[in-house]
Structure formats: C-alpha cells, structure tokens
Amino acid sequence: MPRDSLGVAISQDVSWVIALRGQIYAASDADQNDRVTGQTSFANTTPTFILHNPSNSAKLCFPFFFQIVQTGSVAGGDIFVEVEARGTSAYSSAGTSEGVSNLFFGAPSAYSNPTNSCLLYSGPTAGAGAGRKLGHFTLAPDVSPAEGVINVPEWSAPTGLIIGPGASLDVYTYAASTGPTWDWHFVWAEIPVQAFS
C-alpha cells in the first residue's frame, strides 16, 4: 500500500489521496447566518452562485456537489434551479466572494495545505451567454419540512465534469415575485494542471 512522506498508509480511494494533499475545499456562509436570495425571473446575467476558476489559476476544478436549503422568507411561487457549466467563465463583476476553507482542518505542519484558487461568488453579475445545462430542479415554495415537501435540492456533479482555468459552474435560482432564500454550501477539489501533463 502506498504511503505518504510521513509513512502514513494512503487509501487507494483517490478522494482520500487528494484530501491528504489538502486539495478539497468547501464554501459556505462565513457569518453562519447570512443567506443568499435568488431572483424573481430568469436572466443569464444574474446567477445566484458562480464557482469561478480564474484563467490564471493553473488549477483544474472538480466540483463534487452543492446543497441549497430553503429558509427565511417563502418564495413567491414555484422555485426553479438551473445548473450549467461554461467554457468561458460567466463571472463578470460584483457579487460577494464567499469564504472558502481547505477541508484538511488541523493539518499537521508536515502536510501541505494549499489555499484555494477557485472562487465562489453569490449574487454576481454574469456575462450574457449560455453554457451546458447539467441539472435542474423545480421545488414548491416552503421552508418547513412538516408537510413532507422536498426543500433541500442537492446537486452532484456528473462524472467527468472539470472546470478548467477560465471556466465556471453557474447556479440560477428564481421564483415569481419573491426570490427564494437559501442556506447553502459547495464542495470541490483543485488539482494543479501540471499533475496531468
């Protein structure tokens, strides 16, 4: 069985290998109680979230999943969630650059614990254009689970999805009259481009 530089056995599961290398990240609300509100209609220039890989990152981004949970004010009608990827990043300007953490918490000093290159924005302005749709949900507007309504969409990336430098994963959420409000988190891995050259 392969071992790392400290002699610790490394699982053959690639996810544990990249975790031990400090290459898995999560983004969520840094204040623990701020929420993100979607839009009241679809426009490709107003995504709710963008996972943006800057063109100078020299990293490949492998999205794992995201979870968004209805909370706060009830949306004004059925909620639509659209997920797409673009080869030319949708990110244009503005929005909130959300907090990102390496998921190797408390890593021993002998381990590398690199910082993230990819950025997660909420409420950004996007360039007009369309990508390839990779997921869609329609949800009833409800912040209570009491009636059995599904109000927690969780999206998992299809096998093979890679967001290269200068590309993005875009999430649009909208409902008529009152946009949906979300608690949320995203998880992804970043691997240097040269690892595959």
The pLDDT of 1-22, averaged and rounded, is 70
**Whether residue 1 has pLDDT greater than 60:** no
Average pLDDT in the chain: 87
Q: By percentage, how much of the chain surpasses pLDDT 70?
A: 87
Please indicate whether residue 123 or residue 153 has the higher confidence score (pLDDT).
123
Place 14 in a pLDDT band, splitting at 50, 70 and 90.
Answer: confident
Please indicate whether residue 193 or residue 197 has the higher confidence score (pLDDT).
193
pTM: 0.88
pLDDT in tens, 162-188: 999 999 999 999 999 899 999 999 999
Cα 175 to Cα 157: distance, rounded to the nearest angstrom: 24
Question: In the 3-class helix/strand/coil scheme, how is 65-120 assigned residue by residue?
Answer: EEEEEECCCCCCCCEEEEEEEECCCCEEECCEECEEEECCCCCCCCCCCCCCCCEE
CB 180 within 8 A of CB 138: no
The confidence score (pLDDT) of residue 111 equals 67
**Whether residue 8 has pLDDT greater than 90:** no
Place 12 in a pLDDT band, splitting at 50, 70 and 90.
Answer: low
> What is the DSSP-derived secondary structure letter of residue 169?
E
- 3-class SS at 34? coil
The confidence score (pLDDT) of residue 15 equals 79
The confidence score (pLDDT) of residue 113 equals 67
Number of residues written out for the chain: 197
Which secondary structure element, helix H or strand E, spans residue 173, and what is its range?
Answer: strand 168-174
- 3-class SS at 141? coil
By C-alpha distance, which of 11, 6, 25 is closest to 105? 25
Q: Which residues pair with 50 in a beta bridge?
A: 121, 170
Please indicate whether residue 123 or residue 30 has the higher confidence score (pLDDT).
123
